Amino acid sequence: MFKLAPLSAAIVLALAGQVMADDSTSTQSQTGNDNIAEVKQVLSPYASATQTQAGHDHNHMAEQNDSSSVIQQSATGSYNAGYAGQWSETGSIITQQAGGEFNDAFTSQSYGVENQATQTQQGSGNHSTIWQDGEMGSQGTTAQYGDRNEAFVEQQFGGTNNQSSITQGGADNYAAAEHLAYTDGNVQIYQEGKENWAYGDQRDGTGGTIGIDQYGSGNSAEVWQDNQIGSTVSVDQNVNNNEGYIDQSFGQSNVASLYQHGNANASWSDQYETGNATVTISQGGSNNLSFTYQEGDNHSLTVTSQGNGNQVMASNWKGDKPGGQFGDSQTAVINQTGTGNKANLTQDGALQTAQLKQKGTNNSTQTNQVDSNNELYFEQNGSDNTLIAAQRGTDQYAYGTTQGTGNVVNVDQSGYANQSYTYQLYGGGNEAHITQTDGVNLATVTQGGHYNTATVDQSGYNQNATITQQGTGNMATVTQQ
């Protein structure tokens, strides 16, 4: 069987094909096996090419240059290959349809304006590719229905306002879309089934958008937006065992959103050497896990988890504990509702703010802030909650509230003008440990319940400690030097 390789076959067939001009119309229809259909239309104000093949092991090719044209290709059977190419076209249309198994479709549009390419494949094991380079206002659309199909849309090399759309229904599908050195590109991928994988890549451009929606089991999405300015990515995964990975590095003013609904979901979000970047992660279900890493200035992180056994881990490339936000003027908000949730956040820089809120059972929070002007607010409602917060630098401030049973709060502050308020009202076995070193520190601990323990250690000057405990068996220790 002879099959078209997308680029080499286009060149070979073009050399041997029919050449037409003016207002050209070509119609080719073939049945049987191992047939080849080809046409080339050049310098016609309007050109139309229609190719239809039924059987297996067919090849069909159509090429049009410098006009407003239409190419329609249809193949029914197995192991058929089609190529459609348009060069320097305006408002042209390419439509490729295939029904059967193991069919290939390749579309190429270069240096045109407002062109459209549409591919539709039904069956199993099909492969489709749309290539658009140097295009303005063009659109590539691929729809596949069946099992184990693959779809690719490439829009590259200085395009403007191009759109990519891929729709797959079935199982074991794979979809990828790429933009390179473009402006205001849009990528949309929709997958329905199970064990699908989607890949989106936008690099060296401005104002790009990537949207990936997956419905099924075992879905995985990977998005790269490197060296981008003002770009947006949104990943929405539903049902079970989803994984999402988003990387926005070396850019400016980018926004990343990841939504996972189901069980055993995991997400990774990285923004490295970027400025004014925003990450929003929302997970609903059980056994969810999220990793985030931001380095630069003016970053914002929001993580919301609902369900059981959720974890929020800020890490350097999937590390266990370290990572988080590095730079100046960072903001983090973490909100978890459920059972067995854990949160970890590391902030290193100036003017950082962290807000943590957990409701449920067996929640644990660990935070770390370094350098100056950091602020931390935390609230844990439930039982068996644990908070460990460390602040180093200048003008740091920690606030807290814990309600429930068996809660532990440990705050360590070192630097200048630190303040800490910890309230644990009513429960059993609560503990509060606050350590402050150097300048103008203030600590206030209020615990209501029984078996509570409060310890405040202050070293420096102008420190003030207030401990109020109500209940039975409480112990209070204050050391000032």
The answer, yes or no, to whether residue 166 has pLDDT greater than 90, is: yes
* Residues contacting 406, CB < 8 A, separation 6+: 383, 384, 385, 427, 428, 429, 430
The answer, yes or no, to whether residue 261 has pLDDT greater than 90, is: no
How many other C-beta atoms are found inside a 10 Å radius of the C-beta of residue 434?
Answer: 28
pLDDT tens digits, one per residue of 22-37: 578 899 998 988 889 9
With pLDDT > 70 as the criterion, what percentage of the chain qualifies?
Answer: 93
Q: How high is the pLDDT of residue 321?
A: 57
**pLDDT level of residue 394 (50, 70, 90 thresholds):** confident
Q: Give the residues across from 44 on adjacent strands.
A: none
Could you give the C-alpha distances from 342 to 261, 286, 338, 361, 363, in angstroms and in order? 18, 13, 10, 10, 5
Residue range 239-246: mean pLDDT, rounded: 83
Residue range 12-18: mean pLDDT, rounded: 38
Q: Give the residues across from 395 on adjacent strands.
A: none
| Cα Rg of the chain, angstroms | 30
Q: How high is the pLDDT of residue 320?
A: 60
**pLDDT level of residue 14 (50, 70, 90 thresholds):** very low
Q: For 306-310, 386-390, 406-410, 429-433, which range has the lowest pLDDT when averaged over its residues?
A: 306-310
pLDDT tens digits, one per residue of 300-338: 888 888 877 788 776 665 556 566 788 888 888 888 888
The answer, yes or no, to whether residue 420 has pLDDT greater than 70, is: yes
β-pairing, 93-101 with 116-124?
Answer: parallel
How far apart, in whole angstroms, are the C-alpha atoms of residue 66 and residue 439? 76
The length of the chain, given as a count of residues: 481
How many other C-beta atoms are found inside a 10 Å radius of the C-beta of residue 2?
Answer: 11
The one-letter amino acid at 341: N
Structure tokens at 227: 């060296």
pLDDT tens digits, one per residue of 101-157: 888 999 999 888 888 999 998 888 888 999 988 888 888 999 988 888 889 998 887
The answer, yes or no, to whether residue 20 has pLDDT greater than 80, is: no
Q: How high is the pLDDT of residue 353?
A: 85
The answer, yes or no, to whether residue 16 has pLDDT greater than 50, is: no
Q: Phi and psi dihedrals of 408, rounded to 5?
A: -130, 130
Residue range 71-92: mean pLDDT, rounded: 90
Q: How high is the pLDDT of residue 463?
A: 87
Name which of 64, 62, 35 is nearest 51 in CA terms: 62
Q: How high is the pLDDT of residue 255?
A: 92
How far apart, in whole angstroms, are the C-alpha atoms of residue 228 and residue 183? 10
Q: How high is the pLDDT of residue 414?
A: 87
Between 171 and 127, residue with greater pLDDT:
127
The answer, yes or no, to whether residue 197 has pLDDT greater than 50, is: yes
Q: What are the boundaries of each domain within the chain? A: 1-110
Q: Phi and psi dihedrals of 317, rounded to 5?
A: 50, 60
The answer, yes or no, to whether residue 11 has pLDDT greater than 60, is: no
Q: What is the average pLDDT score of the chain?
A: 84
pLDDT tens digits, one per residue of 54-78: 988 889 999 988 888 999 999 888 8
Q: Give the residues across from 368 on adjacent strands.
A: 346, 390
Between 158 and 225, residue with greater pLDDT:
225
Structure tokens at 243: 């994984």
With pLDDT > 90 as the criterion, what percentage of the chain qualifies?
Answer: 16
Question: Could you identify the residue written with the tokens 């790269």?
Answer: 224
Q: How high is the pLDDT of residue 61?
A: 94
The one-letter amino acid at 380: Q
Residue range 181-201: mean pLDDT, rounded: 87
E-strand stretches of 181-324: 186-194, 197-203, 209-217, 220-226, 232-240, 243-247, 255-263, 266-275, 278-286, 289-297, 300-308, 311-314
pLDDT tens digits, one per residue of 336-380: 888 888 888 888 878 888 888 888 888 888 888 888 888 889 998
Burial per residue of 215-249, b for 16 or more beta-carbon CB atoms within 10 angstroms, e otherwise: bbbbbbbbbbbbbbbbbbbbbbbbbbbbbbbbbbb
Q: Give the residues across from 35 on adjacent strands.
A: none
Structure tokens at 270: 């990285």
- Four-CA torsion 162, 268, 152, 121, nearest 10 degrees: -110
The answer, yes or no, to whether residue 283 has pLDDT greater than 70, is: yes
Could you give the C-alpha distances from 73 to 20, 29, 70, in angstroms and in order? 18, 10, 10
* Residues contacting 444, CB < 8 A, separation 6+: 420, 421, 422, 465, 466, 467
Burial per residue of 93-127, b for 16 or more beta-carbon CB atoms within 10 angstroms, e otherwise: bbbbbbbbbbbbbbbbbbbbeebbbbbbbbbbbbb
Residue range 202-221: mean pLDDT, rounded: 86
How far apart, in whole angstroms, are the C-alpha atoms of residue 68 and residue 88? 9
Question: Could you identify the residue written with the tokens 């990285």?
Answer: 270
